[in-house]
Amino acid sequence: MKHIPSQCPLCSGKVEPGSTTFTVDLKTGVVIVRNVPAWVCTQCGEDWIEDAMAAKLETIANKAKAQNTQLEMVSMA
């Protein structure tokens, strides 16, 4: 993500650095990544993941899919 808003476009709350949980259903399995660095709205909890981190998450999901993993749980912390 090239531009992180300083104000949430959904509720106008303040956006600050934080973390989130990324989940993807691959149909053959589920990938859950906890403690993902993100920008998070302090009011509504909406989050944004930067492009570099999204690329890492995509790599994790693709690896799990290639290995036919039914459940993959990872922590970025």
Quickly list H helices, 7-77. 51-66
Where do the structural domains in the chain lie, given as residue ranges? Answer: 19-37+49-75
pLDDT the model gives residue 6: 84
Q: Mean pLDDT in the chain? A: 92
Q: Give the C-alpha separation, 18 to 49, whole Å.
A: 10
Structure-token pair, residue 24: 């993807």
Residue 45: φ, ψ to 5°:
85, 0
Give the global pTM. 0.86
Greatest distance between any 2 Cα atoms in the chain: 42
Q: Check: CB of residue 57 under 8 Å from CB of residue 36.
A: yes
Percent of the chain residues past pLDDT 90, beyond the cut? 86
Structure confidence by residue, pLDDT tens digits, 2-49: 567 789 999 999 999 999 999 999 999 999 999 999 999 999 999 999
